[in-house]
Amino acid sequence: MEFFKSHKVYDFMRVRKYWIPFSLILTLGSLFLLVVYPGPNYGTDFRGGTEIEVAFKQAVDASDVRTAVHKSGQFSEPDVVQVTDPAHPWRYIIRVQEISTVDDTTREAVKKALCLGIEGPPDDPNCPLNARATEVKFSAGGDKLGVRYDAAPDLERIKAQLAGVPNVKLRAGERNPQVVNPRDHRVEIQLQSKGDQLLDALRAQLGAEKVPDAALRVEWVGPKAGKQLRDSARNSVAIAIVFIMLYLALRFDLRFAPGVVLACVHDALVVLGAFVLAHKEITLSTIAAVLTIVGYSMNDTVVVYDRIRENLGKHRGKSFGVIINMSVSETLSRTILTSGATMLSVLAFFIWGTGVIQDFAFAMVVGIVAGTYSSIYVAAPLTEWIDAKMSRRGAANVKKRLRAKPA
């Protein structure tokens, strides 16, 4: 199928003087949004914190949820986002910066309550032998304790010991605490997480008739892990672009590689800028979408480059700009068919999808448009400029050799 006649050549390079400044504005504008203002809105993956997804039983506004979390006094800067879901019309994602329920002061209080390191007679009424912990380990999220004893532990006494510790509450359940290793007298104690406390705070403020018994999803990421994920995401994009440059330098020649790299950087920045402009979160799924776009953009540009290389051999007397026009015109139908088919599939996810799928589709929609455009007006003009500069340098070297050659 051809939308355009194969023998017709469109003068794309004639209007490049308008599109190159437009590309610069898009790139610099995206950089401004990402670096200066308002900056990226990182998700819990990168920022760290606790995130829960709740489907309320009755109608509730995002402002009511935010106010309820504020009034609890346990959380700072709650972020409430409504999720479009016909099955659950009052579905929200709630994020807070707090991660662990156990701070340093609480840790010491828990250790003291569990009689860690206490020495004395076995029949000490305050700390009998079966209630003296020899080891206490806290999970990273502060919602689980691993405790070890020298004798078979008294689980009811352990409950009583922890009941007197401020800001510590056991998670409801018949098998909490429980012995996980009878031979080593190891006990696992599950505490309320920040997600559990968040639900309790919502029930206290909004009422149990509105708040469900459990969240649909609870996730938390520590700030150190979030920084590592952020650095890894940035490095993955940079490494992908470097290997793309090496691949193109080997497949074609060095003058073609910078154009594709610039087009990939352009597309990645435009997608991230669109996310900031649309007030969408940048998460690991966003980075996956950006890497997909980088690959998609490279594939589209390589098709054009391959035709340029082929036409350079066929039409040796024509200028590089004319060769670009011919090559882009010849591949235009293929580009529209490929991009159009991909766009139709992605638009379906963008229109009817929810949550992460919709955000991924949004990145793909922006990236497909940017990737198709950048192949023509970012990669090709830069390659033409590099070719012209190399030709002038080659001509200058020839003249130097001719002048230096003795008569």
Chain segment 362-371, per-residue pLDDT in tens: 999 999 999 8
The pLDDT assigned to 33 comes to 93
- Residue 407 pLDDT more than 60? no
CB 226 within 8 A of CB 47: yes
Residue tagged 């209080």 (tokens)? 109
Looking at domain 12-42+223-394, which CATH architecture does it have? Up-down Bundle (1.20)
- Residue 236 pLDDT more than 90? no
Calpha distance 385→16 (Å, rounded): 12
Strands 79-83 vs 133-138: parallel, antiparallel or unpaired = unpaired
Fold designation for 49-98+195-221: Alpha-Beta Plaits (3.30.70)
* pLDDT digit string, tens, across residues 106-152: 888 888 888 887 877 777 777 877 788 889 988 766 778 899 988 88
Calpha distance 225→91 (Å, rounded): 28
Rounded to an integer, the average pLDDT of 48-74 is 86
Domain ranges of the chain: 12-42+223-394, 49-98+195-221, 104-190
For 42, which DSSP code?
B
User: Which residues, including other chains, have CB under 8 Å from residue 243's CB and lie 6 or more apart?
Assistant: none
Strand order across the 133-138 sheet: 133-138, 144-149, 186-190, 178-181
DSSP one-letter string for 136-191:
EEE-TTSSEEEEEESS---HHHHHHHHHTSTT--BPS-TTSSEEEETTTTEEEEEB
The pLDDT assigned to 365 comes to 93
Looking at domain 104-190, which CATH architecture does it have? 2-Layer Sandwich (3.30)
Rounded to an integer, the average pLDDT of 373-385 is 88
| Total-model pTM | 0.69
The pLDDT assigned to 101 comes to 63
- Residue 406 pLDDT more than 90? no
The residue type at 209: E
* pLDDT digit string, tens, across residues 289-310: 888 888 888 888 888 888 888 8
Q: Is 96 helix (H, G, I), strand (E, B) or coil?
A: strand
